[in-house]
Structure 1
Amino acid sequence: MASKYDGLARIIIQNVGGKENIASLEHCFTRLRFRLKDESKANTEMLKQSDEIVNVIQSGGQYQIVIGNHVGAVCEAVLDKAKLKKADSEEQNEEKQGIFSRIINTISGIFLPVIGLLCAAGMMKGLLVILTAAGVLAETDGTYIILSAIGNCIFYFFPVFLGYTAAKKFGISEIIGLAIGTIMVYPTLIAVMSGEPLSVLFEGTAFESNVFLTFLEIPVLLNDYSSTVIPVILAVWFASKVEKVAKKIIPDVVKSFLVPLLTLAIVIPITFLVIGPIATWLSSGIGLIVQFLFELNPILYGVFVGAFWQIFVIFGIHQGLIPIVLNNLATVGYDTIFAATLAAPFTQVAILIAIILKTKNQKLKTTSISAFFSGIFGITEPAIYGVTLPLKKTFIISCIASGIGGGIAMALGVKFYTMGGQGIFSFPCYIDPNGSAVNSVLMAVISIVIAMVIAFVATIFIFKDKKESKVKETKNDSQSVEIASPMKGDVVALHDVKDQVFASGTMGKGIAINPTEGKMIAPIDGVVTSLFPTGHAIGITGSNGVEILIHVGMDTVNLKGAHFTSKVKQGDSVKQGDLLIEFDIEGIVNAGYSTTTPIIITNSHQYANFDLTTKENVSSNDTIITLG
């Protein structure tokens, strides 16, 4: 089925090195997260030139293309155009990654599928706290009981959900992952813990544990694994190793039932005897470390976490903190990490408001308005990558203000009690179920408002619109800029090009040519700022500031360089008329590809006047675009 993002999908596929270079693809709220077999084949600069792409980030072993709120539809279009199945897109290329990148990738892959449900369940729990505090519902009401089942389902049965997602991530049968999760919350095992212990191990130490049953006369250190995170992940990882061996030694005729039997028979006892207790102690240790840092100096702790949170987001490190947050909620009953970051999305919103009020740059204003609506719902990537980070000073302001907000929140005793919504929907998460709902939320609001005021005022004083100085600088060199035709051929209106991204003007205004000679020359004096490895596309920045993209043919990246010969390399200075690329028109056409060549001015929004040639045919060096 055709999608309005098909054109963008083709551009993305071409510029990440083609579908054969994609090892895996997934997405979060705003980003396409690629794992590329060879990132050097990707053309980052070419991708950044698309107005539909906010930014490109290479971090944590991932090639991240920031899209915005419609990232899900774009991801589907990319999968469709690249002929990738979702299962195929999850193949890993981890041998090329460092250990830190692999850990972040693993954690992200396990938790991303359940984040939406976590937020939804958390919002329901927050709503129930509000309704009971207001006297609308009582905990004994049937309505409350049914709605609380929605709010508690994922938290109580968390090992079941993580058993499934971890199994997908570790490449084993999802059914086995589900089985491990359900066994860990098996009611009979939990009920045993309500009786008298048979004995006590490690008495008097931090590891003191009651023994309620034995397995083959070996004491089992039972724990309540509902709501836990680390034990089931380690258990499924261990199962992935056992299942691999089982598949090798068990005959094909009985594999369907003996592989899961052998796997569970080995993994489950080991989980309850070894993995579970160690993981529980580890979980408790992490919670104690976070609590220790908080108690050491809560204000400095809040300033540090709040100030650096957005930097964590940029590098994808924030995904690795989610298990710690969930662990804190399960073991301590509240979390301080998310509490210290409460101001971060709102400082971005405050900065966007200040920029919207001050800027005269229409593109920046439009981008800021769009990012504002995402920001109030806690999705700050469009604001960070599209506005504040490129402006640099505003991003620093946001970090400083968020740090101050985090410090104030810790000083006021703000805590995060349940997973829930983001942005304006996050306030129920700060309601103390055992205290005053109004007071706990009020402290959070005070912290946020102070941080927002600081960010807004600082931006009003520091932000300066760069549009006027840039245009003035361009026009000092010449009252108008003339762009010569890079090739001989027939003129084609850009809107007639058989590619939505080019035809719609998404990448900028321009014109197209059907070449009659296989030579591309420099249309202006400047520097080759980007050159696709296959030689089918090139970017040039003129000495007067104009930015030009020339793309020979449609989908010609699939030729993998065949029929193209580059005469320059990225970084070369060129003069108008210099030969850039030679290409074989007949060979390209015979291979089934169009040679229609868009010539795009990617910063065309900076020019008040944009005039195109009226000629139907042009020769190399004929003026085809005049900017003023």
Structure 2
Amino acid sequence: MAKNYDALADSVVELVGGKDNVRSVVHCITRLRFNLKDKSAVELDEIKKIPGTMGAQWAGDQLQIIIGQDVDKAYDAICKKYAFQQQKTVNENLDAPKKKFTVGAFMDAITGCIAPIIPVMIACGMLKALLQVLSYAGVLSVDGSTYNVLSVVGDVGFYFLPVIIGYTAAKKFNVNVFIGMALGACLIHPNFTAMINAGDPITLFGLPVYSGYYPSSIFPMILTIAVAAPIEKFINKVIPSSLRYVLVPTLTLMVVAPLELIVLAPLGAYAGSYLAAAIVWLYNATGFIGCAILAAIYPLIIMTGMHTATSPYIFSALATYGYEPLILPTMHISNYNQIAACLAVGLKSKDSTLKQSAFSCALTALIGGVTEPALFGITIPLKTPLYGCMIGGLVGGAVLGLKKVVVYSLPGAGTIFGLPAYIGGGSLSNLMWMGICIVIGMVSTFVATMVLYKPEQK
């Protein structure tokens, strides 16, 4: 990785067509993302040769330059040197016109509601996993006060998910965030929960209210806020400005809350449960073959960005079943295979620069769980290491499916620090088999890459 970020900034800006060709530049966890006026001015092949870059590609009209974990330093250097306005988010193309409804836009909306909450879900999941480790080790008793208090802390991210999603969805759909949170709180209010637990019919204005269990749910709130957005906008338009402060939130809540309880939340609950049930059915129907194929093609899924669309299912499965058997375990296998492929390239390559880059990408994936530098900087450009990863995924995924390894909470990035998420089911056997699957996948990937990769073929 280049240490001179000013030099990298100069080279990048020059090769994208100069400062005047840049509409805006943002960055994600590994990539610089440029929105440009003239795409033809970009020298893509030359950008890939800049020291410190790991690749470059077009994603629609957006130019993405892969830097790795030091992308923030490169981004700061570019913004400071060329006086670009620094942005905090990269969830959407800032210059793109508003799009009509499409499946892609729908998935983007769902992902935009879920992505911001992932850190707290990981934190709560890891705390629950740590408590299981401490209880197995005899450090904490499950009947003790300390265990139960910490268990409450671990549960809050899941139990109050409707409130949290109410906030993120409101931001995504441009609704008053506090109205969004209030609508989420309606679904888990103690009195409402007590009425559901009592088992008696619940009605609102004579209409039946579905007696559903909404803690840990996602779709009910996303659907509710999506409907609340045009309602709030309409109310805001027709109410005089002098009365908006009081009447807009009041009327929005009065209109949307009944719709939520009678129609929207039940529809969302059914959608989430059926989605999870469908994928779990597919997992049970295909068995180890499905796991093997998914683990083999997972690098391609990441390459196309389709992995972000799996978040709704993952949350629904964890909430419905208490575990997730397919996406997260195969992702973990795929991540470790990238490490093995990079190690093989680093050991076999005769190019000192490529060696250093391969080992750096392996370390980045191992410690940080960020595989994009490995994927876009090593395995995809060299091709044969990618084939090695797919072979390793096929083998490791098959064992994964045969032993029915599942994950019990969000592991975060697919690194060693995420392995406690596989502790559950009353024993450590699930964790043990996950470790075995990782080793099998890595060994298979390493051997396949050593055989397939020819240093002179790039």
Q: Same fold (TM over 0.5)?
A: yes
Deviation per CA, 1:109-134: give whole Å up to 9, x if none. 32332222222222222111111111
Structure 1 residue 97 displacement after superposition: 7.8
Q: Distance in 2 between the 1:97 and 1:50 partners?
A: 38
The residue aligned with 2:389 is 398
Q: Which residue of 1 aligns with 2:296?
A: 307
Q: Residue 56 of structure 1: SS of its match in structure 2?
A: strand
Q: 1:382 aligns with which of 365, 369, 373?
A: 373
1:423 counterpart residue number: 415
Query: Once the two structures are superposed, what CA deviation does each residue of 1:554-592 show, in whole Å capped at 9, x if it has no partner?
Result: xxxxxxxxxxxxxxxxxxxxxxxxxxxxxxxxxxxxxxx
Q: Deviations over 1:347-379 (max 9, x none)?
A: 111112222222221111111111111111321
Which residue of 1 is the match for residue 106 of structure 2? 103
Q: Report the CA distance between 1:65 and its aligned residue.
A: 3.0
CA-to-aligned-CA distance 1:514-562 (integer Å, 9 cap, x gap): xxxxxxxxxxxxxxxxxxxxxxxxxxxxxxxxxxxxxxxxxxxxxxxxx
The 1:67–1:127 alpha-carbon spacing in structure 2 relative to 1, beyond 3 Å, is same
Shift in Å, 1:331: 1.0
Partner of 1:285: 274
Q: Distance in 2 between matches of 1:376 and 1:139?
A: 33
The alpha-carbon deviation at position 84 of structure 1 amounts to 4.5
CA distance in 1, matches of 2:213, 2:277: 18
Q: In the alignment, which residue of structure 1 is the partner of 2:50? A: 50
**Structure 1 pair 89–220 and aligned structure 2 pair: CA distance change class (3 A):** closer
- Looking at structure 2, the residues matched to 125 and 221 of structure 1 have their Cα atoms a distance apart, in angstroms, of 31
Give the residue type in structure 2 aligned to 1:395. L
Q: Partner of 1:83 in structure 2?
A: 85
Distance 1:325 1:38 in 2: 39
Q: Which stretch shifts more, 174-183 or 74-83? A: 74-83
Task: Give 1:469-618 correspondences, 5 Å limit.
Answer: none
1:321 aligns with 2:310: yes
Aligned partner of 2:449 among 443, 456, 459: 459
Residues in 2 aligned to 1:426 and 1:73: alpha-carbon distance in whole angstroms:
27
- Aligned amino acid, residue 71 of structure 2: V
**Post-superposition offset of 1:265:** 1.5
Report the equivalent of 2:64. Answer: 64
Give how far 1:463 is off: 1.7
Return the match for 1:172 from 170, 175, 178: 175
Match of 2:219 in 1: 230
Quote how far apart the aligned CAs of 1:20 are: 8.2
Q: Contact 1:69–1:374 (CA<8 Å) still a contact in 2?
A: yes
Q: For 1:203-352, what aligned pairs fall within 5 Å after superposition? A: 213-336=202-325, 337-352=327-342
TM-aligned CA deviation for residue 385 of structure 1? 0.8
Greater C-alpha radius of gyration: 1
Q: State the AA in 2 paired with 1:274.
A: V
**Cα distance, 1:8 vs. partner?**
4.7
Q: Is the 8 A contact 1:24 1:89 kept in 2?
A: no
Q: Output the amino acid matched with 1:420.
A: P
Compared CA separation, residues 89 and 349, structure 1 to 2 (3 A): closer
C-alpha distance in structure 2 between counterparts of 1:42 and 1:328, whole Å: 44
Q: Tell me the distance in 1 between the aligned counterparts of 2:31 and 2:183.
A: 32
> Residues 390 and 445 of structure 2 are in contact (CA less than 8 Å); yes or no, is this contact kept in structure 1?
no
Structure 1 pair 424/165, CA: closer, same or farther in 2 (3 Å)? same
Query: 2: CA distance between counterparts of 1:20 and 1:163?
Result: 39
Deviations 1:61-103 (A, max 9, x none): 7643322113344455666632255489965735358824323
Cα distance, 1:249–1:370 mapped onto 2, change above 3 Å: same
Preserved CA contact (<8 Å) 1:162 1:229: yes
For 1:169 and 1:35, locate their aligned partners in 2 and report how far apart those are by CA, in whole Å: 21
Shift of 1:441: 0.9
Q: Is the helix fraction higher in 1 or 2?
A: 2
Please state whether the residue corresponding to 1:58 is helix, strand or coil: strand
Q: Distance in 2 between matches of 1:110 and 1:287?
A: 18
* Aligned mates of 1:108, 1:448 — CA distance in 2: 28
Q: Amino acid of the residue matched to residue 68 of structure 1?
A: G
| Residue type of the alignment partner of 2:117 | V
Segments of 5+ residues of structure 2 without an aligned counterpart are none
Letter in 2 for 1:404: V
Contact 1:52–1:67, Cα closer than 8 Å, also in 2: yes
Alignment partner of 1:292: what SS? helix
Distance in 1 (CA, whole Å) between partners of 2:269 and 2:352 is 54
- The structure 1 residue matched to 2:353, chosen from 363, 373, 381, is 363
> CA contact under 8 A between 1:30 and 1:381: conserved in structure 2?
yes
Specify whether residues 267 and 215 from structure 1 end up closer, same or farther in structure 2 by C-alpha distance, changes over 3 A only.
same
Secondary structure of 2:123's counterpart equals helix
**3-state SS of paired residue (1:341):** helix
Letter in 1 for 2:196: M
Equivalent residue in structure 1 for 2:427, among 403, 420, 436: 436
**Counterparts of 1:311 and 1:269, CA distance in 2:** 44
Aligned to 2:131, which of 128, 133, 139? 128
| 1:431 aligned partner, one-letter code | I
- What is the percentage of aligned positions where both structures have the same residue? 32
Across the aligned residues of Structure 1 and Structure 2, the Cα RMSD in angstroms comes to: 2.9
Q: 1:402: how far off?
A: 1.0
Alignment pair present for 1:185 and 2:188: yes
Counterpart CA distance in 1 for 2:229 and 2:20 is 28
Structure 1 156/58 Cα, relative in aligned 2: closer, same or farther at 3 Å? farther
> Matched residue of 2:197: which SS?
coil
Report the TM-score, using the length of structure 1 for normalisation.
0.66
| CA-CA distance at 1:11 after TM superposition | 5.8
Q: 1:40 to 1:104 in 2, by over 3 A?
A: farther
Residue aligning to 1:573 = none
Distance 1:172 1:135, change over 3 A: same
Q: Distance in 1 between matches of 2:90 and 2:308?
A: 23
Q: Does structure 2 conserve the Cα–Cα contact (< 8 Å) formed by 1:33 and 1:63?
A: yes
SS at 1:95's partner residue? coil
Paired letter, 1:140: D
Asked whether the equivalents of residues 292 and 397 of structure 2 are also in contact (C-alpha less than 8 Å), the reply is yes
Match of 1:412 in 2: 403
Give the whole-Å Cα distance in 2 for the aligned partners of 1:223 and 1:318.
Answer: 29
Q: CA deviation at 1:24?
A: 7.9
Q: Secondary structure at the match of 1:441?
A: helix
1:95–1:371 CA distance, 2 compared to 1 (3 A): same
| Number of equivalenced pairs | 449
Change in CA separation of 1:55 and 1:134 when aligned onto 2, cut-off 3 Å: same
